Amino acid sequence: MLAPISWLKDYVDINVSPSVLAKKLVAIGFEVEDIIYQEKQVSNVVVGKIVQVEKHPNADRLRVTQIDIGGKTLQVVTNVPVVGGEVVALSLDGARLANGLEIKTGELRGVKSEGMLCGLEELGLTVDSVEGQDEKDIIRFNDGTPLGENALVALGYNDVILDVSITANRPDCNGIFKLAKEVAVALGTECREPKINYKSVGGNVNDDVSVEVKNQALCPRYMAASVKNVKIFPSSQTIKSRLLAVGIRPINNIVDITNYVLTEIGQPMHAFDKRELGGNKIVVRNAKEDEIIVSLDGKENHLKEDMLVICDAEKPCAVAGIMGGLNSGIKDDTSEIVFESAKFARDSVRRTSRALNLRSDSSARFEKGIDFGSQELGLKRALTLIYETGSGDIQDGIIDVKVDYQKTREIEFTTRKIADILGCKVPKAKLVEILNKLGIEVKDNGKSLVAVIGEDRDDIVGVNDLAEEFIRVYGYGHVKPTLFEYSALTEGSKPSKIKFVDKVKNTMVACGLDEAVTYSFISAKFAEDLRLTDDDAARNAVKIMNPLGEALSVMRTSLTHSMLETLAYNKTHFVKQAKLFEVSKVYIPKSLPLEELPSEVETLSIGMYGEGIDFFFAKHAVEELMRALGKNAEYVRSTRPFLHPGRSAEVLLYGKSVGYVGEVHPDVQETYGIDNFRVYIAEINLDEVYDEAEFETRRKVQPFSKFPTVDRDLAVVVDDKYLAGDLLGAVKAAKIKYLTDMRVFDTYKSEQIGEGKKSVAMSFSFACLERTLTDEDVNAEMAKILSALKRKVGAKIR
């Protein structure tokens, strides 16, 4: 925000240099991005008096002048018809003008010239910038103007402008007056209120216009005032100069007043030509679909139903909070006006502005937020300027259509609470003094303090905000490095679920896998690619309304499609072996179309291919994960359509499927373009595996036996229907005392074994913590194992 210091001085006495003021503003939380000195807009241009004029010896249209610049006389050749005695603006040798031109001493037709006479254009000015000059002539000063003085200073163009960065939480400071309040706090002085002093001439605004607000959610407050016998003329030099200083072009007194109030109070306003208001009525409503309005910039805008417009009884007259219609603007013969001062929903203004590609100073302010108090202050300030400039006759009364709102809020707090937040001592008297200076009234009820927050401070909602307001003025230097003497030390820690996911990832890395990251969006054809059945719940994917393309058009319900695409990409780029995993979310809708947000399920995906990788390698990664998480998983044959029917397994916990592991079906591999080798995948629902209480419980461990381990092998014949897991489960259920490990290392089928039969070779390890096991101990354990296998699966020794 651009803030001329001369304008700030209307409200607060500033007795420090601009650089010091900037530092003080920075100290209380307002970054000053730049300090703009108007007098430095050009360099080396001074006031001079022409003391002698002679005809140029070699050119009829040129004159040779002698110009006194205060103690020194320079010779300047010019084509301006001067006669002598004029006080002018002279650019000297080395001067740099507003257009970038650099002046050098040289010769014109053989005569030395040490400068150039300047007009407004050379100094980057217009007739609106300064008073009493002609844009087609050179700059001429009054007699008595100090010679040698900076020409811009002599013209009165010597303001200093602060470019202040207003943070998003302080939209109330997007106005000179509210910023002046902060300047007063920074300088430890008082801030004056805006001058509100006008007289009406009778009549009544309600006789001139009526206001109806049909959507108070988007327009919670709308105020209007009427002015008759309006006179249109140029604004005063002060108003024009200040508007130009903040980048607004002066137009006429009425339009300039609305822009002046916008900048000074921070309240956008609009002035309607009353004769253009059909039915003498203002209606604030949503636009009709494809309704058209031509805005003040001449652009034809096609409106949508969610856009708010200001209408008369017949047609739209303005796009609410953004720009007036071409038919509503102030004209040279306007005689009656209606002022609008309103509060519009910031999100509505932002959406409409972007949809129409229509921007204005007003929309920029509304998008940042306008408080409820600004409408009345802004309107009355505009009426005061109308009265002071004699721009018209103000009618009695103000129309104010508004919702009920809370003008003040109360926050209870204590100095101890503020001290705990800030980590420093907080003097109670200083706390109350600073908050009062900031416009926050503080009441003491004995046990605690109560802050009364005004309607202009929407950013203050709790004690933390009060602490921030206090310390930014009190000074962060009061916060000394301590061992948290005034506040409790909280030990940082990751949430249990994040630690669980970290453990899953660390286990995968320990198994030799690399982490992959893929998009949550996938192709809508994933269900066909994976050969999912029509009734498979995974088909119910959430569609993206505005996808980047078909390949990223739905939210994934499984990670398998993404993993297969990643493996295919690596294989086609000549990566001979890949072992990957991904931990991410899948999105399961509760119903379609969506009525509420889908469930986000944390899921692990594993994918691998290459030399030495088979089903058991992939299954080993799942087993290691379950072992690391303290889970006893079971594995049964899987029937998922995208997995090989004989080399896949469903992963069960407590009898419920939590995932799968297996070789990808050859037909599916062909679909993904990876049909020349075997690919293995696994997917685990981590939310089903995670149990916070169990995960946080410390697992019991026992030492390894320091005595020798005894290994025994056993080959048994069982029916072909039994899986390796069935045999291992039978032994596990027998609870063999000294058994420490077991595995299936071979299966064999032949005619000798018999039809429908197979031989399963198993290896067992035994150990004891107290002693070395004897052959009799191990033989007894092996007998128990064989008995369990005979009883459970009908096994016979081969």
Q: Per-residue confidence at 487, pLDDT binned at 50, 70, 90?
A: low
pLDDT exceeds cutoff 90 at 723: no
Q: Is residue 184 part of a domain?
A: no
Residue 466 and residue 513 share a domain: no
CATH number at residue 470: 3.30.56.10
Stated as kind and residue range, the H or E segment containing 412 is strand 409-413
Q: What is the pLDDT of residue 554?
A: 95
* DSSP annotation of 295: B
**Environment class of residue 305 by beta-carbon count within 10 Å: exposed (0-12), middle (13-18) or buried (19+)?**
exposed
- Is 95 contained in some domain? yes
Does the structure show a pLDDT above 80 at 675? no
**Residues pairing with 165 in the sheet:** 31
Same domain, 510 and 597: yes
- Residue 280's closest CA among 201, 386, 205, 230? 205
What span, in angstroms and rounded, lies between the C-alpha atoms of 387 and 402? Answer: 26
* Mean pLDDT, residues 434-438: 93
**Predicted pLDDT of residue 488:** 57
Boundary (domain end) residue, out of 402, 420, 454: 402
Q: How many CB atoms lie within 10 A of CB 143?
A: 8
pLDDT tens digits, one per residue of 641-663: 999 998 999 999 988 999 999 99
**Same domain flag for 398 and 416:** no
396 and 415 housed in the same domain: no
Residues near 797 by beta carbon (within 8 Å), at least 6 away in sequence: 714, 715, 716, 717, 786
Are residues 240 and 118 located together in one domain of the fold? no
Q: Which DSSP string do the residues of 83-121 spell out, in sequence order?
A: -S--EEEEEEEEEE-TTS-B---EEETTEEE-EEE-BTG
Section 552-568 average pLDDT: 95
Nearest alpha-carbon partner for 338 in 222, 249, 213: 222
DSSP state of 278: G
Residue 12 domain-assigned (yes or no): no
Report the DSSP pairing between strands 316-319 and 323-324: antiparallel
Q: How far is CA 314 from CA 279, 328, 378, in A?
A: 8, 13, 28
One domain for residues 341 and 466? no
Let me know if residue 701 belongs to a domain. Answer: no
How far is the C-alpha of 712 from the C-alpha of 392, rounded, in Å?
110
Q: Of the residues 154, 183, 215, which one is the last residue of a structural domain?
A: 154
Characterise 705 by phi-psi region: left (phi > 0), alpha (psi -120 to 50), beta (else). Answer: beta
Strand residue runs (E) in 124-246: 140-141, 160-165, 210-213, 221-228
Same domain, 291 and 422: no
d(CA 599, CA 597): 7
Alpha helices, DSSP H, located in 629-691: 666-671, 686-689
Neighbouring residues of 501: CB distance < 8 A, sequence distance ≥ 6? 583, 602, 686
Looking at 56-199, which runs of residues are DSSP E strands? 63-68, 73-78, 87-96, 106-108, 111-113, 115-117, 140-141, 160-165
Instruction: Answer whether residue 488 is part of any domain.
Output: no
- Tell me the residue range of the domain where 513 lies: 496-696
Q: Is the same domain home to 686 and 714?
A: no
pLDDT > 90 fraction of the chain, expressed in percent and rounded: 79
Does residue 757 lie in a domain region?
yes
Domain of residue 518, CATH code: 3.30.930.10
Q: Is the pLDDT of residue 329 over 90?
A: no
Query: What's 328's domain CATH number?
Result: 3.50.40.10
DSSP state of 772: P
Which of 359, 381, 471 has the alpha carbon at shortest distance from 176? Answer: 381
DSSP string, 32-55: EEEEEEGGGSSEEEEEEEEEEEEE
Q: Are 370 and 397 in the same domain?
A: yes
| pLDDT of the residue at 484 | 56
* 556 plus 653 within the same structural domain: yes
Residue 593: asked if its preceding bond is cis (omega within 30°), the reply is yes
Domain identity same for 266 and 221 = yes
**Residues 688 and 568 reside in one and the same domain:** yes
Residues forming a β-bridge with 117? 90
CA distance 677 to 578: 12
What is the per-residue pLDDT across 366-392, written as a single tens digit (0 to 9) for each?
A: 999 898 889 999 999 999 999 999 999
Please check whether residue 175 lies inside any domain of the structure: no
Q: Sorting pLDDT into bands at 50, 70 and 90, what band is 787?
A: very high
Q: Please report the pLDDT score of residue 37 as a whole number.
A: 94
User: Tens digit of pLDDT for each residue in 161-216?
Assistant: 999 999 888 888 999 999 999 999 999 999 999 999 999 999 999 999 999 999 99
Residues 6+ positions from 177 with CB-CB distance below 8 Å: 11, 194, 264, 265, 266
pLDDT value at 362 more than 70 = yes
Condensed to tens digits (0 to 9), the pLDDT of residues 79-94 reads 999 999 999 999 999 9
pLDDT in tens, 122-139: 999 988 888 888 888 999
Please say whether the beta carbons of 544 and 554 come within 8 A: yes
Q: Which CATH number covers residue 752?
A: 3.30.70.380
Helical packing angle, 496-510 and 615-628, nearest 10°: 140
Indicate the pLDDT class of residue 56, thresholds 50, 70 and 90.
Answer: very high
- Residue 326 in any domain: the answer is yes
Nearest to 597 by CA among 606, 587, 586: 587
Q: What is the mean pLDDT of the chain?
A: 92
Domain count, the chain: 5
Measure CA 671 to chain center.
41
Among 428, 443, 478, the domain-final residue is: 478
pLDDT of residue 632: 86
Query: What is the structure's pLDDT at 493?
Result: 83
